[in-house]
Structure 1
Amino acid sequence: MSDPLSKRRLKMWIRLLGVTRAAEGELREFLRVKHATTLPRFDVMAALYRKREGVTMSELSRMLLVSNGNATTVVDRLEADGLVRRTPSETDRRTVFVALTPEGFAQFEGLAAEHEAEVARVFAGLSEADLDAMTDILKRVGS
């Protein structure tokens, strides 16, 4: 016997995916148009902002759930722009640490504030009660 809620769950999943993709598309466009940057660059800078002491390239890839090659490409561009620095490990020549530069920290803080405001705009139609209910539901699904 099939689950009577199966079709509704499938429709909910499709709606959730659509909302996620639409919001991500708006944020990508916002970053591109207003800040001449990309979501992957923002994500790398956000990860490095949270880990101020720096991380290895492998750790960064794991944090972002991307390949080492993808992370390296973004870090290369950020380094060329003076926003991150690479430091070789003193104990293992194969290991390289990456961290934001002071300029990278400053740029990210401004970008993060505007990103937060844009997310607030995208979801402005949700009340506090809506946010509480959605957060509760998503926590239950994610655990």
Structure 2
Amino acid sequence: MNKHERQLSAHIDAESALQENPSDHRSELRLWLRLLTCSNLIETEIRRRLRERFDTTLPRFDLMAQLFRSEDGVLLGELSQRMMVSNGNVTGLVERLVQEGLIERQVSETDRRSVRVRMTPHGHSEFAVMADAHADWIAELLGDLSENDRERLWRRLGDVKRSVRNATMPGEGGKK
């Protein structure tokens, strides 16, 4: 069992432990653990399928997804922000994808410190196949929910997102 699977198992166990004595725990904690468990279950399965079918990782997939939507490419710093990871993490991923011919780097002529990356035609076609498979996997994993249930859940999770933002973003409608 790898580290991620052990963490997932721990989250599932934590949620199960709460179910044994729900009155001992606040509903907010139970909800958070349920969200975390669902997210981890989906992420673990997507990681496994990406590895088995495409011999790639979720971070590589995520980076390529950011570039897939941008014909002109993205500055490295902006890419780090979008992916919510350090510049160093992005730089390492970019280097490997450049070596594989999936993306290319362009150094700005006016500012040599500014580097823009974008997909090559080969990278674009490779990623399109992965993105289609990814969409199918997500549809399969959420397939037991009706369209109506998915829509209601999407709206309710929007409420959760708003609640978290309100609690954490001072000066922007938050409570802090």
Aligned partner of 2:86 among 53, 67, 77: 67
Question: Whole-Å Cα distance in 2 between the matches of residues 94 and 122 of structure 1?
Answer: 42
1:18 Cα shift? 0.4
RMSD: 1.2
What are the within-5 Å matches in structure 2 for residues 12-23 of structure 1?
12-23=31-42
| Aligned twin of 1:81 | 100
SS at match of 2:106: strand
How far did residue 91 of structure 1 move? 0.6
Partner of 1:98: 117
Segments of structure 2 that go 5 or more residues without pairing to the other structure are: 1-22, 163-176
State the percentage of identical aligned residues. 42
Aligned-pair CA distance for 1:9: 1.6
The runs of 5 or more residues in structure 1 that have no matched partner are none
SS of residue in 1 equivalent to 2:26: helix
Q: Measure the CA separation in 1 of the matches of 2:97 and 2:114.
A: 19
Describe how 1:1-143 pairs up with structure 2 within 5 A.
Answer: 7-143=26-162
Distance in 1 of aligned mates of 2:47 and 2:140: 14
**Higher Cα Rg, which structure:** 2
Shift in Å, 1:8: 1.1
Q: Which has the higher contact order (CA 8 A, sep 6+)?
A: 1
Count how many residue pairs are aligned between Structure 1 and Structure 2. 139
TM-score (norm 1): 0.94
TM-score w.r.t. length of structure 2: 0.77
Q: How far apart are the structure 1 equivalents of 2:71 and 2:161?
A: 28
Q: Which amino acid aligns with 2:135?
A: E
Q: CA deviation at 1:142?
A: 1.4
